[in-house]
Each structure stands twice: as structure tokens, then as C-alpha cells.
Structure 1
Amino acid sequence: MTARTAMTGIQDKAQQGHSHQRPGPSRPSPLYQGKTSFDDIYDQPDPRDYFRGLRPLEYQIPHHAQRIFQRLLPALGAVTGRDQQVRVLDVCCSYGINAALLNHDVTLDDLYHRYTDPRAAALSRDELIERDRAFYARNRLPGAAHMTGLDAARNAVAYARAVGLLDEGFGEDLELTDPSPALVRALGPVELITVTGGVGYVTSQTFDKLLSHIEGPVWVAAFVLRTVDYGSLADTLARHGLVTQRATSRTFLQRRFSDAREQQNAIEAVLATDRSPEGKETDGFYHSELYLSRPAEHAAAFPADEILDRAIH
């Protein structure tokens, strides 16, 4: 961790450890220069091309996030004392994958199989939506969270809404515009913000706008590529009263590099953050780290590494 990051409110803990970058919108952040673009699959009418395109790269970060996000829901309830449906905002929600895994008895492998199955390829979009709506309704978990999704990819958000993965969905780019009145209303009761790889495509600007409209205490759970400096975003979260902890006991495989050039760019980016790529990016995969940002008293009650350990073991 850089000296600059250490001064931004990130509570660093010890380090060890060994994650997909979310294929992003068509306007890439400078933080992601040198990464392969997935624009051709990210905003399709349905997720079939997305899963076919990412399967060879072993994109897997939603799988790792699933257990941790599911662990956060009861932890959040324990510190707030509220026994009610948790309201979650998934930033860079794409086709609702995190919502599918958080609220349903399904795995990421199930979704890969479902959307790459030749039988799915033969369906029209309307037929796929009808099939998926029934599938997710049948596999919905009791006590499911209320899910709001935000992504600049409007087609992807529309799909997630159509099949019932999102209770509310917004195809808005807060890097370019202010949130719509409808999004502002939806933000008020949000208690947990999740993001699995979008940090860098979305910046402090987006999070500042989101947090400005959230009415009560909120947690932010972000899986962030090691190629990205989280310091400026942690600064923004600190201005909204949140303490950021980085889980240090492990990192998370994101996806394979698409080619040697992408790998070399990632290695150089990690070195620029004063960390070593050995045993991680040098082995052919992007790696992500988990950052949890919460009010100080909540962070003290449930340290990030403790939540991580309970989710994994």
C-alpha cells in the first residue's frame, strides 16, 4: 500500500494473500488503459454473449463475492438492530449477476452453464426472459435483499429488471450526469453498496453523488483490482463518515489475462502501487482485494478480515 493510501482513512491490517474486472462502458477510465475491452458483450439485450465471451477467461469474481455479500447482510442487521429486508445498491450491476447470486440458490457455474447451453442459444430474447423469470422466482432465497442496480449499460439493466433480478434498475452514468429524480428516491434507504470490479470505470465522482442522497448509515463493499489505487475513493468515503478497511488475509482471482500485453500492463500497474505482482499477476490472473467502508463503530464491531474469515470457513 502506498504512503498516500495509508493517510486516506484506509485501515490497513497486515498482508499476505494471493479476482473479472467488470467489462466496462464504452468510455474507459484512464485507470483501465491497457485492459482488453469487452464493449461488444457488455450491453447486449441479454447475457448470452457475455457469458460465452468471459468463460474462456475464467471470470469468477461474482463467485467469490457471493459468500461475502451474503455474510454482510446479517452482520449489517446485527449492528443496526434492524430485522428487515436489507436494501442493496449494486453499482456496475450489468445483467444482475450479483443480484442473482446474492438472492437465489444458484452459483456462477450454474449461470455459465445456463447461458452457454446450446438450448439457450436457440431461444428468442422474449423466450429467454420468460424462462429466466420463472427460474429465478423458483430459486429465490427467503429473506432476499431488495436490489437496486445502477449501470451505464441500459440494455443490461433492462434485462435484469425484466427477469426480476432487480427491484429497481437505472441505466445512468453518474460520471457524466447527476442522478435522475427516480434514482435519488431509490438511494434514500440504501444500506449496502456493492461493486465487483467497477471501481476505476466509476470513480469518486459517482460515489460522492450516491452517498450524498443516502439517508442513513451505509456500508460499501468493493472488490477492487490490485492495479487500481483505492486511495482517492477512500478519501471521498471518509468525507461521508466512512472508515475503509482492506481485508489482508487473501486476494481473489478475477479473470485470466486475455494476452501477454494485458498481463504486462497489469504487472506494471501493480508495481506502480508499490506492491509486488509475484505469485499473483505474474501467474496469469487479475487479482482483486476486498475493501469495506463503514461507520467507525460498525467497522470496529465487525473487522473486515473477521467477516472474510467467517464467509470462507
Structure 2
Amino acid sequence: MASGKARFDDIYGQADPRAYFTRLGPLEYEIPHHAQPVFRRVAAERAALDDGLPGVPAVLDLCCSYGINAALLNHDVTLAELYGRYASPAVRDMSTAELAAWDKQFYAERRRPDALPVYGLDVSVSAVGYAREVGLLDAAFSDDLEQSPPGPELARALPGVGLVTLTGGGSYVTERTFARLLDGARRPVWVSAFVLRTVSYEPVIGALSDRGLRTTADTSRTYPQRRFTDERERRYATEAVRALGRDPAGLEEGGRFHSLYYESRPGASSRPGREGV
């Protein structure tokens, strides 16, 4: 456990997403469910902005793992259905190749007519490779932007990106990653991010501001992410939240990580229920 927060590195290095869902299911990992309607709304708004321009702006899902957000964005499926699918006895004895073939058909049959191109970025080669193979991602990259600039393939893809999305990766990526993504962009880029309350998003907000984006924070609510693995993790989270000047009462003290939602747009203005930051 790094800094008191459990890590799940082993489930992201598997050849397919079964371990991801069977490990996170009992912890009620739910942030992609909360992000689904938000990302659909924001992605549609961002796509409309380029109406009349060549091509459709792509969504780049940061820390995308097995393409869960892409599945929920572009397909008529819920997170609960995915948990049930990958934990079912039907998939237990399948090979990865068999599961991939089953998944490819499953997602193709549920593809929404308003589906948008989605790129995935995650340091797990196996996770993004699986998501690409079954059709969830239009392009997949494993560049570690915390350590180095985008490689040639990602650099060629970034000019087509119009929206960057994030759920759950705010503990692992910093302003370096966001700066390198935006520095390679050519279209106006929006950022839609769910970030744990245990983490300060201020450095990222600063990097985005330096590149012409104004960030607004949704102050009307928090979004539960998952249950804590144990008492040590609960203590870590409540202490981290207090250190940032936030109150864990009824939230982290209740046994779950909670996230805040941040939206960044070029010259964006505050909306009801939000405050500019």
C-alpha cells in the first residue's frame, strides 16, 4: 500500500478484464457509472463545437485500463451489467481469445449510433491492447507521459483529440501528463475529470490555465468511488482529506473514497452549482 492507499497493479496487467471486475466488484467500484452520463453529455457538446470541420474530435480516456469508460460512453450497457458479465460462470473457463471474440460481438451489437472515436492511454500494454482488440478503442497507447513526451504514434493522434476524460487516475498522473497532452493538441481541448478528494488537483488546474483553459469544480455533490479495503486505508483517506482542508464527515469517514468533478474548457465560465477555480 503506497501512502496508505491500496494499489491494484496486478489486475491491470492481466490479458483480459476478468480480474479487474472480480477484484473491484466486492469493493463496489462505481465511479465509471457516475461518469457515464457526464461524459456522454460533455462529449456530445464538444463534438458539436466542431460541426462543419473535417473529422470528429476524438475522446482520449486517460488511465483507461480495459476501456471501461469507452464501453459506457459508446454502448448501450451499464457498469452493473459489465460486473455481471465478467464475473459470470460463463466466462470463467474461457481463454482470453474466446472472451475477446465474445466481447467483440457483444460490444458491436450494443454500439450506439452517436458513438464517437475514443483513444485510450494507459501504461498497461495488455489492458489497452485488449480494449483495442474488442473494438472499444479506436487507438491505444501505453506512453508514460509522467516520464517522457508522447512517442511518435501518440503525437500523431493528439491533433485529433477534442476531449480528455479521467476517472480514478488522479492519484497517479500529474500536471506533467496533462501538459504533454495539451501541448500536442491542435483542436480546442476540453478536460472532464473525476478526482479523488484525497488528491489536490490544483497543479493540474494551473497547467491547464497556462494553456488557456479555465476549470470549474462541481461543488454541489461528491461522487463515491469505492469502499475502502481496510481500516488503514480509511485512516489514510480521512487524514489526506483533512490535510487539504476538506471535511470527511459522512463521506470518507463513512467508508468510501469520494471524488469531485472538474471540467476545463477554453474560456469556460462558471455555471449554477459550480465555482471557478
Structure 2: gaps (5+ residues): none
Query: Which residue of structure 1 aligns with residue 130 of structure 2?
Result: 159
Check the 8 A contact 1:247/1:304 in 2, yes or no: no
Q: Secondary structure at the match of 2:216?
A: strand
Residue 200 of structure 1 deviates from its aligned partner by: 2.4
Secondary structure at the aligned position of 2:185 is classed as coil
Aligned partner of residue 160 in structure 1, secondary structure: helix
CA contact (8 A) 1:85 1:144 kept: no
Mapped to 2, the partners of 1:112 and 1:82 lie a distance apart of 39
The one-letter code of the counterpart of 1:33 is: S
How far 1:166 sits from its partner (Å)? 0.3
Q: Which amino acid aligns with 1:184?
A: A
Q: 1:78 to 1:85 in 2, by over 3 A?
A: closer
- For the pair 1:175 / 2:130, whether they are aligned, the reply is no
Which secondary structure state, in structure 1, belongs to the residue aligned with residue 188 of structure 2? coil
Match of 2:183 among 212, 221, 224: 212
Deviation at 1:80, TM superposition (A): 4.7
2:75 alignment partner, one of 100, 104, 107: 104
Q: Is it true that 1:45 corresponds to 2:15 in the alignment?
A: yes
Match of 1:293, SS? Answer: strand
CA distance in 1, matches of 2:52, 2:242: 43
Give the AA of the match of 1:149.
Answer: G
- CA separation of 1:232 and 1:288: change in aligned 2, threshold 3 A: same
Contact 1:88–1:190, Cα closer than 8 Å, also in 2? yes
Deviation per CA, 1:67-120: give whole Å up to 9, x if none: 100111232244455586341000000000000000000000010011000110
Hey, what's the Cα distance between the residues in 2 that align with 1:305 and 1:180? Answer: 39
Is the Cα–Cα contact under 8 Å of residues 161 and 167 in structure 1 kept in the other structure?
Answer: yes
Residue 35 (structure 1) shift: 0.5
CA distance in structure 2 between the partners assigned to 1:237 and 1:112 by the alignment: 34
Runs of 4+ deviating beyond 6 Å: none
Moved more, 36-45 or 92-101: 36-45
8 Å contact from structure 2 (residues 57, 160) kept in 1? no
- Asked which structure has the greater RCO (Cα within 8 Å, sep 6+), the reply is 1
Deviations 1:192-233 (A, max 9, x none): 000001012011111111110000211000000000011111
Indicate the SS of the match to 2:249: coil
Matched, 1:74 2:41: no
Unmatched tracts of structure 1, length 5 or more? 1-27, 307-313
**Structure 1 position 235 matched with structure 2 position 206:** yes
Residues 27-49 of structure 1 deviation map (CA, whole Å, 9 limit, x = unaligned): x9xxx621111111112100001
Residue 122 of structure 1 is matched in structure 2 by: 93
* Mapped pair 1:54 → 2:24: yes
Contact 2:43 2:59 in 1 (8 A): no
Q: Is the 8 A contact 2:16 2:127 kept in 1?
A: yes
Report the CA distance between 1:304 and its aligned residue. 7.6
Determine if the alignment matches structure 1 residue 200 to structure 2 residue 171: yes
**What displacement does 1:177 show?**
2.1
How many residues are paired up? 273
Contact 2:218-2:262 at 8 Å conserved across structures: yes
Query: Matched residues in 1 for 2:66 and 2:272: separation?
Result: 28
Note the alpha carbon deviations across 1:137-191, whole angstroms, 9 max, x for none.
0000002010000000111000000100000000121111221111001111100
2:260 is equivalent to residue 303 of structure 1:
no
Q: Give the alignment of 1:124-163 within 5 angstroms.
A: 124-163=95-134
Question: Equivalent residue of 1:109, what SS?
Answer: helix
Kept after mapping to 2: 8 A contact 1:246/1:304:
no
% identical equivalent positions: 52
TM-score by length of 1: 0.84
Closer/same/farther in 2, CA of residues 77 and 305 from structure 1, 3 Å limit: farther
